[in-house]
Structure 1
Amino acid sequence: MIFKRNALLAVLATGTLALTACGGSDEPAAEGGLNLVSEGNLTVCSDIPFPPFEFEENGEYTGFDIDLMREIATGMDLELVVQDVGFDGLQSGATIAAGQCDIGASAMTITEERQANLAFSDPYYDSLQSLLVPADSDVTGIDDLAGKSVGVQQGTTGETYTRENVPADTEVVAFPSDAEMYAAVQAGNVDALLQDLPVNLGHTEDGAFTIAEKYETDEKYGFAMAKEGSEELVAAVNEQLTAIRDSGKYQEIYDTYFTE
């Protein structure tokens, strides 16, 4: 698949940005047992930037995950509020358990370990891992990383895959986000990056970097919610995901960021 967005954004300021879902009636629908952290709002936490899934453009948060969440909020007659948070706390369940948000939407793979602390929606995206290297690198695959260094994002399945599969003498360097990882490989501080394919593809646009290898890991992304007390919210999100797929809106959003 080909990442269709232009050059990736640099390190962005963190903060909270409210996005208002269009459409719907003037009054929000009855929220019942959704147990939302803010009445009338669907509060979503995401680790930004991580294009093409979440990033900031023209002062607004956007991306594949964010666009899907906007449609879900609209279907639930709620306003969408997006908060930029660290991925480690989000994938561990700590951020949601602290009541900071209703949903985690951050290219998060559904794993057994995460399911111990989080409830997940139905899968909404299948992903591959990949190895990004400079165009003139002699690294053609993961086995060539012997004696070299590779950057990963901490707390991700990419980090897990890397540590389980690189040669024993490979230095694995964990970074908080893709922005720091990419800056490190640009500066020559690491020899390669191993992470989700769509994100690495975005780094190949200027020709300075290339994808050396892809890895099928059977990863599926899901939207994360509280482990306890989120049953109605999970059901509502799944209902909206089905409606978005049936209406063709999912494919429209998908085609905005990817082609196959």
Structure 2
Amino acid sequence: MAAIALTAAAGLLAAGCTSTKSDDTGGSGIKLVSSGTLKTCTHLPYPPFQSKQDGEIVGFDVDLVDLIAKELGVKQEIVNTPFEGIETGQDFNIRKCDLAAAGMTITDERDKVMDFSVPYFNATQALITKKGDPYKTFDDLKGKKLGYQKATTGGIYAKKQSKGLDIELVEYEDVGLLLTAVKAGKVDAGINDNGVLFKYVKENPDTEVTAEFDTGEEYGIGFRTGNDALRTKANKVLKKARADGSYDKIYKKWFGTTPQS
């Protein structure tokens, strides 16, 4: 009897522990990693989508996810983590976050290890150089150094397009290091998403975007595979934001224009 009582007590304790590790928001069936918090995995810096300003993490992606958190009645908590852990789905597997918003392109390979929201941003690859440098195509970069960010679609595109062209590819852990290398002349050019590069050249007039490559990319918010309740809620919020003007307002805040203009 004592053994039975001990087993029952242990079962009740385990059940109690489980309930404190997740949060059923409003009876919706949405389970969060931490009660009362929507944890967002991202990789800093990646302005204007996410970066730290005056000690606070801000950006286009941050504001969009805030809409989702508000709908759930919780606060967003941003987890800065290597991008490789995000795009491989590992961060979801270890329950590091509820979702990932990191200026992340939807690809077939990533879709195998996570689920994506509806697309929320159109992007393409672009080339950045020091002002006046004559590099506008991959052919122009023969015998030169081209930098790219690790684990990104820009890196994949650069490897594909530079085959047989004697271009030295240089990998950087994050976009901040990549852009610093371009500015300092450590590489002749860098490749990354156009939204990030146009933001950078606006603030660094000694650099310029010399070319854009129409890769037809779209960003999506990532979720643990099978986390349909949270993904469905996020999709509803994103669609509502498009309809009521909230999306355009956030877009203009970070890009100075609206998607339609």
Partner SS state of residue 110, structure 1: coil
Superposition pairs for residues 127-146 of structure 1, below 5 Å?
A: 127-146=123-142
Aligned to 2:231: 234
Letter of the 1:195 counterpart = N
Shift, 1:181, TM fit: 0.5
Aligned to 1:47, which of 20, 43, 46? 43
Superposition pairs for residues 209-220 of structure 1, below 5 Å?
A: 209-220=207-218
Aligned to 2:120: 124
Aligned to 1:25: none
Partner SS state of residue 68, structure 2: helix
Aligned to 1:68: 64
Equivalenced residue count is 233
Aligned to 1:10: none
Superposition pairs for residues 81-120 of structure 1, below 5 Å?
A: 81-120=77-116
Quick check: 1:142–1:213 contact (8 Å CA) kept in 2? no
Structure 2 distance, partners of 1:243, 1:29, is 19
Shift, 1:182, TM fit: 1.2
Letter of the 1:98 counterpart = I
Shift, 1:202, TM fit: 2.2
110-119 or 136-145, which deviates more: 136-145
Residue segments in structure 1 that go unaligned for 5+ positions in a row: 1-27
Superposed CA RMSD in Å reads: 1.5
Quick check: 1:131–1:142 contact (8 Å CA) kept in 2? no
Shift, 1:31, TM fit: 5.1
Quick check: 1:146–1:167 contact (8 Å CA) kept in 2? no
Structure 2 distance, partners of 1:224, 1:29, is 19
Pairing 1:182–2:210 present: no
- Whose helix proportion is higher, 1 or 2? 2
Deviations 1:165-188 (A, max 9, x none): 125211111111011111211221
Amino-acid identity (%)? 32
Q: Are residues 248 and 159 of structure 1, via their aligned partners in 2, closer, same or farther at CA, if it must alter by over 3 Å?
A: same
Aligned to 2:169: 172
Deviations 1:117-153 (A, max 9, x none): 0000000000011000111212122221111111111
TM-score, normalised via structure 1 length:
0.86
Aligned to 1:222: 220
Deviations 1:6-55 (A, max 9, x none): xxxxxxxxxxxxxxxxxxxxxx9425432210011111011011001001
Aligned to 1:35: 31
Letter of the 2:103 counterpart = A
Task: Give structure 1 regions of 4+ aligned residues with deviation exceeding 3 angstroms.
Answer: none
Letter of the 2:86 counterpart = L
Q: Are residues 40 and 31 of structure 1, via their aligned partners in 2, closer, same or farther at CA, if it must alter by over 3 Å?
A: farther
Partner SS state of residue 26, structure 2: coil
Pairing 1:194–2:184 present: no
Greater C-alpha radius of gyration: 2
Q: Are residues 33 and 144 of structure 1, via their aligned partners in 2, closer, same or farther at CA, if it must alter by over 3 Å?
A: same
Quick check: 1:119–1:227 contact (8 Å CA) kept in 2? yes
Aligned to 1:207: 205
